[in-house]
Amino acid sequence: MPKVTFIGAGSMEFATTLIGDILSFEELSDSTISLMDIDEHRLAQTTTVAEAMVNNEGVDTTIEATTDRREALEDADYVLNMINVGGTEPFENEIRIPQKYGVKQAIGDTIGPGGIFRGLRTIPIMLDIGRDIEKLCPDALLLNYTNPMSILCKAMYDATEVKTVGLCHSVPHTAEALTDYVGIPTEELDYWVAGINHVAWFLEAKYEGESIYPYLFDAMDDRAVYKQDTVRFEMMKHFGYFPTESSHHMSEYVPYFRTDQAVIDEMTGTTSAGRMPTATYLEGWKDRSKQRDGSQPDDELTESTVQLSEEYASRIIHSLETDTSRRVNLNVSNETSAITNLPSDACVEVPALIDRTGIRPCSVGELPIEVAEFSHQHTTVHELAVEAALENDRQKVHRAVKHDPLTAAAISLDEIHEMTEELIEANEEYLPALK
């Protein structure tokens, strides 16, 4: 059975969720799971919980743990990537420096100055991982969970021969939200979604063969429902399609919601998905990081039973290993022109069919013009950010940030230049050697 390697396994909650997913499939229960992280304390935490899960389930899964990446990758069949490069300091800089200039990011890990600079500091390590995979397990499939998803996957497509797909749970989470808003069973929603990661669109959403969009527009008129997802309902109202990422995230991907504090306050919703204040993810991430650095797994974690989450990784592995056909939304290269009005070298998020023969992106055709440009303008940012990292090109860093919609709406070109220089100086030790 397969060897599944986790790079960045010190992210205990997420890693153990994915381990539990693998253990939930009987056909995968005698896999080897190799856990790797450079942080020995966090790696030990994840290993403790993983071994407890194996013992609780009484399965034959082998758990390995190492701080040596090459050892973990040796003969791997699947590589799950969930690394975080640099820790708290660069993340804080990527949020607080733009905030000082007037760019108010909610999360800042995917797009915007935060996403661009997170990509720049992560790409060199991703390429190192890619080179190790090419030498030690060249047939392995890299399943990437690390953000910025599109930037990192595109870097792998452009600079390595590693088979790479990006995984995100925003589509199933959105499907669950939609069915909650209109009162239908989630498992009975038939949907067709495409775009780029975090800026994709429910092109179709049907229940019993009928579009639920009229019911979504009706639901939006209920103030209590509207306040749960303000930004996404506004985007649907004005552009016709519901986007895949939470209102919290979506607010920083477009120029309409975060340049005026009164609008931020007005659009803040009633759920975690509807939060709008600046830096909420950063502060939550810092709190969780402190907890992981100090505590040991409690009895509740070590006594937990296995259950299948909504994450795609285990389903992909199961389909490839057992020839079970599935369709899930994945981030893939657009080299097959799955979306014909986005660049062929972009990373796109589209439906994909999976079985023993491999992963086959579905043909979507053209995105509707009214939403295609939202995805397209970000592919320009992705292209410039990746080229900047691969070519050590300082000018392309500047141009990537200047093309970001929120940044361009908030401050002038000269201010963007000054802000970008300050970000480069603050995070220089983590970045490529920009010239």
Give the Cα-Cα-Cα angle 326, 143, 59 (nearest 5 degrees).
75
**How far is it, in rounded angstroms, from Cα 72 to Cα 90?**
27
To the nearest 10°, the Cα dihedral for 404, 409, 413, 416?
-60
Q: At what angle do helices 369-391 and 149-159 cross, to 10 degrees?
A: 60
Place of tokens 């239908």: 184
144, 130 Cβ separation under 8 angstroms: no
Q: Which of 126, 29, 131, 19 is nearest to 81 (CA)?
A: 126
Strand partners, 193: 202
Q: Specify whether 398 is catalytic.
A: no
- Asked whether the bond before 405 is cis by omega within 30 degrees of 0, the reply is no
343, 334 Cβ separation under 8 angstroms: yes
1, 28 Cβ separation under 8 angstroms: yes
**How far is it, in rounded angstroms, from Cα 129 to Cα 138?**
12
Which of 169, 173, 198, 238 is catalytic? The answer is 169
Is 360 strand, coil or helix? Answer: strand
Residue 164 has φ and ψ, to the nearest 5°, of: -130, 135
Q: Which of 39, 46, 78 is nearest to 63 (CA)?
A: 46
Catalytic residue numbers read 169
